[in-house]
Every structure is written in C-alpha cells, then in structure tokens.
Structure 1
Amino acid sequence: MFSKWRKKQAEPKVVEIVAPLTGEAVSLASVPDDAFAGGHMGKGVAIVPTEGKLVAPFDGTIAHVIKSKHAVMLEDEHGLQYLFHIGINTVSLKGEGFTTHIAVGDKVKAGQTLIEFDIEAIKSAGYPVITPIIVTNADELTETIDTNLGPVTAGRDVVLKAILKA
C-alpha cells in the first residue's frame, strides 16, 4: 500500500567510451611510462594506433590542449575528464608531427577530428606511439572500470566502460 512512497533506488549510470583511435587496445600496464602504467594519472586503457588521427569519442567540451599538441583533455556530459596522450615523451617533439583542430572551450561532436599526427615521424624520433586514454577524475567513478582489449576502430568499438558514483 505504501510502496508508491518508497524512494526508488537510482539505477547506476554506466558510461561507455568508444575508441578515439584505430589500432590495438592494450592495458595501461603495457605503457612504457610508470606514471601511466602504474595508474598514477588515473584509470583507463591505451591504444597502439595504426592511423594518425585522434577523434572525439563522444560529444563534449575541450578542457585543455597541451601546448606541444600531443595531448588533449575532453570533458563529457557527466563532468568526467579524459586525457588522450599521443605517444610517450612526445612532448619533446615540441609539436612537430602534430596538427590540432581544436582549442580550449570548443564544443565537439563524436567522430570529430581533434588531432592528426605522423606515426612514422614519432617512431623515427625514437618515441613509442602507444596512446593512454585516462579518466583523470576517476574519483567520480566506482571502483569498476572495464576495458575491452584487442583490435579497435575509432568511433565504433567500446574501449572503456565505467560506473558513475551515485
């Protein structure tokens, strides 16, 4: 009789992120940099790209673009911020081989090109192209974060699945 007045339990909000790059999704432990591999930057996954194009995996807002063009932070509708860091130690390239198509504050649509990069130039300079994808404010998530590893296509395959805290 009083069931209509009981507070409904909110369904947990699951956030799925599709691959922002085409390539091979691997665990963060595979990244040759302890800050990423050890989870010190946040939770996530990494992709070894086979194409030099980073696209927005969801509609969002550009929160930060690193001056050397090798990384960008994108915020989703839930306030989660994701760092997409192309390569390891690529800040040393000082923007060489990277072309950005966005600026801080831009609203972007899923599939929109954010950064183009020259995979061969990065490799020739001696840097790995493995690209960590990190939820930087992972404290907004439950401990549950699933990664889907293996071949992925940008804009199509889910690489991260997380549950927001209530």
Structure 2
Amino acid sequence: MIWKWKNNKSAKTSETISVVSPLTGTCVSLEEVPDEAFAQGLMGPGVAVIPQEGRLVAPIDGTVVHLIKSHHAVMIEHASGLQLLLHIGMNTVSLKGQGFTPQVQTGDQVAVGQTLIEFDLNAIVSAGYPVITPVIVANAAEQPWESHPTYGNVEAGLGTIMKVSLPK
C-alpha cells in the first residue's frame, strides 16, 4: 500500500526542522525496513526506528492531519508545511486496530514528546509482524525537502533523528 497525502499548500519557510525520535529504540536506515516501498525510499525520504517500548510520540510540533483508521499510522504537519508519516511496524494494518490505542485524533494540535499512539509491542511481534517503524517525509514529492538522518540509540521525545529543510 502506498501512502500519499495530497496537500495543495506549499512550504511556508525554508527553516531547518529537527525531527526528534518518536520512539525509544534504535534509529536505522530505511534500507533496513523489510518493505520495498519504504526501503527504496518510494514513500519518501526518512529513517526507521526499531522500538523497545510501545509508545509513539510526536516528533515535531504540528497538527495531526490523518490518523489511519486502524491506528497503526499517523501523519503530522508542521507549520512549515513539512508532513511526516509515522508507520508502526510492517503489515500491521492487518491487525485492524487490535493492540493500538490512539491518544489523539485527526485535527489535534500536538507538541514534541506528546503521546500519539500506545501499542502492544509483544502482540505485534507475536502476530509475526516486524515492529520497525518508518518516519517518512510524506510530502517530498510535492516539495524538495532534504533530509539528513542521525542513526543510533534513541529515546522517545528526545534527540534528533533527522533534520529536514528545503534547499535555498
């Protein structure tokens, strides 16, 4: 399934946005995601986090522009126009929302570190799904966003996993 969020807005500024980790775990390259669309960057540039706990937090201040019905993914838009897709695990849409508890809804304003979705990490693993979670610049096709990742151990709501900007 390919996610595309259409937005007629163009980016408002050329600022650099620091994207903090939405999860506690290990930040890795998208190439490690066991899904071609994510791994090859077809969904957009970004990073992935292998979570150690089941709490997804806001990596930027912004607006929840889309909470996926099965609660396994959410999209947030920053005031600059940057849109991030946070997709918990691979093929987790098949769980039909089981094990996912949203703490926000579409239209909510969120701040960095605010809990977006709580999820049962063990249930996802037990169901046979990878828990690796892509963090994608969702509107890279509409805007020439540049992303600069930082890999390694991360804590939810702290530390930059990616800096994103529009070229000047």
Normalised TM-score (structure 1): 0.89
Provide the C-alpha distance between the structure 2 equivalents of 1:156 and 1:62, rounded to a whole number of angstroms. 20
Query: Which residue does 1:156 correspond to in 2?
Result: 158
Q: Deviations along 1:96-150, whole A, 9 cap, x unmatched?
A: 11000111111112211100001100000000000000001124235x4211111
Query: Which residue does 1:5 correspond to in 2?
Result: none
Query: Which residue does 1:4 correspond to in 2?
Result: none
Percent identity at matched positions? 57
8 Å contact from structure 1 (residues 26, 150) kept in 2: yes
Q: Which moved more, 1:31-40 or 1:102-111?
A: 102-111
Count of residue pairs the alignment pairs up: 155
8 Å contact from structure 1 (residues 141, 162) kept in 2: no
- Tell whether 2:25 aligns with 1:23: yes
Query: Which residue does 1:111 correspond to in 2?
Result: 113
**Pick aligned residue for 2:126 from 124, 127, 137:** 124
**Structure 1 runs of 4+ with >2 Å offset:** 139-142
Q: Structure 1: state its 5+ residue gaps.
A: 1-10
**Pick aligned residue for 2:144 from 141, 154, 161:** 141
8 Å contact from structure 2 (residues 113, 158) kept in 1: no
Query: Which residue does 1:58 correspond to in 2?
Result: 60
Normalised TM-score (structure 2): 0.88
What CA RMSD, in Å, does the superposition of the two structures yield over aligned residues?
A: 1.4
Query: Which residue does 1:91 correspond to in 2?
Result: 93
SS of residue paired to 2:86 = strand
8 Å contact from structure 2 (residues 50, 132) kept in 1: yes
Q: Which residue identity lines up with residue 160 of structure 2 in the other structure?
A: V
SS of residue paired to 2:123 = helix
Q: Which moved more, 1:14-23 or 1:120-129?
A: 14-23
Provide the C-alpha distance between the structure 1 equivalents of 2:55 and 2:139, rounded to a whole number of angstroms. 25
Q: Deviations along 1:67-103, whole A, 9 cap, x unmatched?
A: 1110000000101110000000000000011000111
Provide the C-alpha distance between the structure 2 equivalents of 1:53 and 1:12, rounded to a whole number of angstroms. 31
| CA positional deviation for 1:165 | 3.6
Q: Deviations along 1:33-76, whole A, 9 cap, x unmatched?
A: 00100111000000000010001122210000111110000000
Q: Structure 2: state its 5+ residue gaps.
A: 1-12
Whichever of the two has the greater Rg, that structure is 1
Q: Which residue identity lines up with residue 86 of structure 2 in the other structure?
A: F
